[in-house]
Amino acid sequence: MWSQGASGSGSLLLVAALFSALVLSPTLAIHVYTHREVHGTVGSQVTLSCSFWSSEWISEEVSITWLFQPETGKDTTSIFHFVKGQPYVDEVGTFKNRMEWVGDPHRKDGSIVIHNLEHTDNGTFTCDVKNPPDIAGKSSQVTLYVFEKVPTQYGVVLGSIIGGVLGLVILVVVLAYLIRYCWLRRQATLQRQLSAMEKGKLQRSAKDSSKRGRQPPVLYAMLDHSRSTKSASEKKSKGLLGESRKDKK
């Protein structure tokens, strides 16, 4: 926690320094950028990316240096050097056979990869780039943390659980309302058909009792015919409903 805070203020200082450097002396300055922190697990590999920006053309004289200061020690050792288009990797130190050069200075990239991480790799790595004659400028540092198991980020599980459950509840509520709405609509149409049928019966009986003209009964017969062609299930439910209504009466 403390180290994070310190590095935070450090980066702020760095930004301020960069800003002042940019404003005060816009020419002849080389800027190097790395991540602030890199996490890795034991046995895995990690890329230490380093990019730079130079006001000059990238010359053949460009040199890139990686320095390493272990967490437990004060000594800074040089672990990588790139000069005259040729990378030189640490062949005797702690990173023997575990380091790989993946950068390309013409693309302003000075990244390295460290394979097979160990706990002793915890520490600060410094990337330093010189592009003669553009040599003025700060180097950049990245801190490597090697874990047994990368800890989950704060709030990831929390957020996903809350979001998931709330989403599920909203989905269920919406589905329930949709089903209820459809059911109510179906009921309403059934009700309308029923009432229409009853009205028809009533009117027909009235017409029969009065024994006037022959035209209206034909119309109702047609209506009855159209109803009889409806699906069987609907008919069944209609019949059931009709019975229940009769029972109630």
Partner 1 sequence: MLLLLLGIIVLHVAVLVLLFVSTIVSQWFIANGRTADLWQNCSTLGVSSSFQCIPSSTNEWLQSVQAMMILSIIFSVLSLFLFFCQLFTLTKGGRFYLTGIFQILAGLCVMSGAAIFTVRHTDWQPTTGDTAFGFAYILAWVAFPLAVTSGVIYVILRKRE
Site residues for partner 1, window 168-197 (CB under 8 A)? 169
Q: Which stretch binds partner 1 (CB under 8 A): 113-121, 145-153, 201-209, 213-221?
A: 145-153
Q: What DSSP state is assigned to residue 42?
A: T
Q: Which stretch binds partner 1 (CB under 8 A): 29-37, 107-115, 125-133, 165-173?
A: 165-173
Q: Which stretch binds partner 1 (CB under 8 A): 12-20, 25-33, 159-167, 186-194?
A: 159-167
Residues near 18 by Cβ (< 8 Å), separated by ≥ 6? 31, 138
Task: Annotate 127-162 with three-state secondary structure.
Answer: EEEEECCECCCCCEEEEEEEECCCCCCCCHHHHHHH
Q: Which of 42, 165, 175, 184 binds partner 1 (CB under 8 A)?
A: 165
Range 40-44 contact pairs with CB under 8 angstroms and sequence separation of 24 or more: 40/117, 40/144, 40/145, 40/146, 40/147, 40/150, 41/117, 41/146, 41/147, 41/148, 41/149, 41/150, 42/117, 42/118, 42/119, 42/146, 42/147, 42/148, 43/116, 43/117, 44/117
Q: Which of 156, 210, 229, 233 binds partner 1 (CB under 8 A)?
A: 156
Which CB sits closer to partner 1, 158 or 222? 158
**Does 154 sit near partner 1 (CB under 8 A)?**
yes
Whether residue 66 contacts residue 48, with contact meaning beta carbons closer than 8 Å, is answered with yes
Containing 195, the helix (H) or strand (E) segment is: helix 156-210
**Does 210 sit near partner 1 (CB under 8 A)?**
no
**Does 166 sit near partner 1 (CB under 8 A)?**
yes
What's the CA gap between 56 and 40, in Å, rounded? Answer: 35
Range 240-244 contact pairs with CB under 8 angstroms and sequence separation of 24 or more: 241/190, 241/194, 242/194
Q: Which of 151, 211, 218, 228 binds partner 1 (CB under 8 A)?
A: 151
Q: Shortest gap between Cβ of 6 and partner 1 (angstroms)?
A: 16
**Does 158 sit near partner 1 (CB under 8 A)?**
yes
Q: Which of 12, 17, 136, 162 binds partner 1 (CB under 8 A)?
A: 162
Which CB sits closer to partner 1, 26 or 151? 151
Q: Which two tokens stand for residue 127?
A: 């990337």
Q: Which stretch binds partner 1 (CB under 8 A): 14-22, 56-64, 140-148, 161-169?
A: 161-169
Which CB sits closer to partner 1, 17 or 184? 184
Which CB sits closer to partner 1, 160 or 205? 160
Does residue 57 sit in helix, strand or coil?
coil
**Does 155 sit near partner 1 (CB under 8 A)?**
yes
Q: Which residues bind partner 1 (CB under 8 A)?
A: 1, 151-159, 161-162, 165-166, 169
